[in-house]
Structure 1
């Protein structure tokens, strides 16, 4: 994936986040997700979810994940959201996000911990909310 392709592919996230990134961050800072934005704010690999939204906003492999976390808008927003979650260590991921979205978060954290090991918030959140257990399905997809 070249720079032009990665920028173009990531535009779907930038456009989606224009609508409600501020709302998503506020919900995470409050410790309770209330609206629907998980797919494009805390994305996971394509192939893990089966809904139209999961397919549209699924990350298309390691290269796109690396481009996402390096993106000047998306990367800092992702880190800010994870840090907002980490500000509530007394709550479980399930309490903050609900059971299904807590599974999506684990996949998201696993993906970005793998592709951006220098940004420690992803591994820290895995430790805090999942006992350090990474998502096996995400790891398997990354290995292919």
Structure 2
């Protein structure tokens, strides 16, 4: 791959690979550039949620989720420190905040993925306190965090 990570204790390369090739074990999915276009257009129509808006392990099962779930708080922090992954997450989150097609995230992401986006925003706000992620939660989810994600994160924090 063109953006190979050299020191990668969390295997973050799997996200780069997914975002650049659309690889999933189950679907022929799309790249990050397609995901960004779809968010800007206000409608997700292809498969890419797992490696663009990752969530903490323990919420959703299946091969794609198992491959792309974040396992630990340290992995989430490393994701945010990675120059490519952090930049892409910020870019698509800003695109989500700036899109004008709807105020209802279910209209953008559909029933299943609307919860994954909230879970992702909850995860990355929890580990960073970055206002960008809270802005999405405030705008699209009435300021309410994903409770199941918080439960897992709080458990991980005390281990």
Q: TM-score range by the shorter chain?
A: over 0.9
Match of 1:11 among 10, 13, 20: 13
Higher Cα radius of gyration: 2
3-state DSSP of counterpart to 1:73 = helix
Q: Tell me, yes or no, if the aligned pair for 2:51 and 2:68 is still in contact at 8 Å.
A: yes
Q: Tell me, yes or no, if the aligned pair for 1:39 and 1:54 is still in contact at 8 Å.
A: yes
Q: Unaligned 5+ residue runs, structure 1?
A: none
Show the counterpart of 2:54.
43
**Does 2:133 match 1:122?**
yes
Q: Please give the root-mean-square deviation of Cα atoms over the aligned residues, in Å.
A: 1.2
1:82-121 map, 5 Å? 82-88=93-99, 90-117=102-129, 119-121=130-132
Distance (whole Å) between structure 2 residues aligned to residue 53 and residue 4 of structure 1:
20
Between 1 and 2, higher relative CO (CA 8 Å, sep ≥ 6) is seen in: 1
**Does 2:35 match 1:31?**
no
3-state DSSP of counterpart to 1:98 = helix
TM-score calculated relative to the size of structure 2 = 0.84
Instruction: Give the count of matched residue pairs.
Output: 139
3-state DSSP of counterpart to 2:9 = helix
